[in-house]
Amino acid sequence: MREGNRRSDGRGLSATQPRAGTYRLLGILWLALSLYILANTLFVHLPEMSGERAANAWLHPFLSFIGIVVIVKAAAGFLAGWGLLQREPWARMLTIILAFLALFSIPFGTALGIYTLWVLLPAESDQEYQEHVQRASAA
């Protein structure tokens, strides 16, 4: 039975604040999504980027640019996931930025973007994440 912010086991954990396991889960999910994006780009869509000779004049450079942007986004997602797992202070802000960009990637990016924003965007999340980072650096 809960009493305010206290649970019956006496740990005093808030029901609305995420715990350290939530940041670990977010890090793992960002690594998984980035791996999916990278594999999908390199192994599924990259072979499809060749076309007829007339279309290659403008299409090939355009698709190459799009491929580079997607690979950079995947690399940033790997960096964000790694940063969350390592409790780096910059990881929260990078992950929030990537979460807004991921909202347009239906369905997995949208789901992860919403979950990430729900966990990391509230004002008290900044203070909690900083405490989480300080506990990690003290250990």
Least confident of 1-5, 31-35, 60-64, 76-80: 1-5
pLDDT digits (tens, 9 = 90+) for 62-84: 878 888 899 999 999 999 999 99
> What predicted TM-score, i.e. pTM, was given to this entire model?
0.77
> CB–CB of 102/110 below 8 Å?
yes
**Rounded mean pLDDT of 99-123?**
94
Angle between helices 20-39 and 53-85 (to 10 degrees): 160
Question: Is the pLDDT score of 100 beyond 90?
Answer: yes
Output the CA–CA distances (angstroms, integers) from residue 130 to 20, 29, 81, 91, 116, in the order listed: 11, 21, 17, 11, 16
77/98 Cα distance (integer angstroms): 7
Higher pLDDT, 36 or 132: 36
Q: For the chain, what are the domain ranges?
A: 20-138
Amino acid at 137: S
**pLDDT score of 3:** 39
Which band of pLDDT confidence, cut at 50, 70 and 90, is reported for residue 10?
very low
